[in-house]
Amino acid sequence: MKNGSLDEVLVKNPIAHINTECLLLLIFAAVGAGYLLTWLLKDKYNARYLVRAYLLYGMIHLLVGLFVFKAALVLVIGSYLLGSVFTLFRSNHYFYG
């Protein structure tokens, strides 16, 4: 860092400009949708219904993340995949518990 302060370096860093509120809302929405879908589909003992429902939610999640929150594509996909992990663990609770 020649003659530059830490603030000048952070201004140029794109990670410093991420809107964390929108990112947290996307993560909570993905996890909440996963929990809700597994709860609604707990009486169907075929995982195909859950996968289809979560994939349909994925299209909505992508559109909301990109156009409403204006988040980066990588962050939208990452939050969606994090929600899918919670969905898998929650579905194991209902299907095998």
- Do the beta carbons of residue 65 and residue 82 sit within 8 Å? no
- Report the alpha-carbon distance of residue 10 to residue 12 in Å, rounded: 5
Task: State residue 2's pLDDT score.
Answer: 59
Lowest mean pLDDT segment, chosen from 1-5, 11-15, 80-84: 1-5
- Do the beta carbons of residue 90 and residue 38 sit within 8 Å? yes
What's the one-letter identity of residue 20?
T
Confidence band (pLDDT; 50, 70, 90) for 96? Answer: low
Q: What is the mean pLDDT of residues 76-90?
A: 92
- The pTM for the full model equals 0.80
Confidence band (pLDDT; 50, 70, 90) for 95? Answer: low
- Chain mean pLDDT for the chain: 86
- Do the beta carbons of residue 50 and residue 87 sit within 8 Å? yes
Task: State residue 4's pLDDT score.
Answer: 64
What's the one-letter identity of residue 3?
N
Indicate the DSSP class of residue 69: S
Entry field: residues in the chain: 97
Confidence band (pLDDT; 50, 70, 90) for 97? Answer: low
Confidence band (pLDDT; 50, 70, 90) for 32? Answer: very high
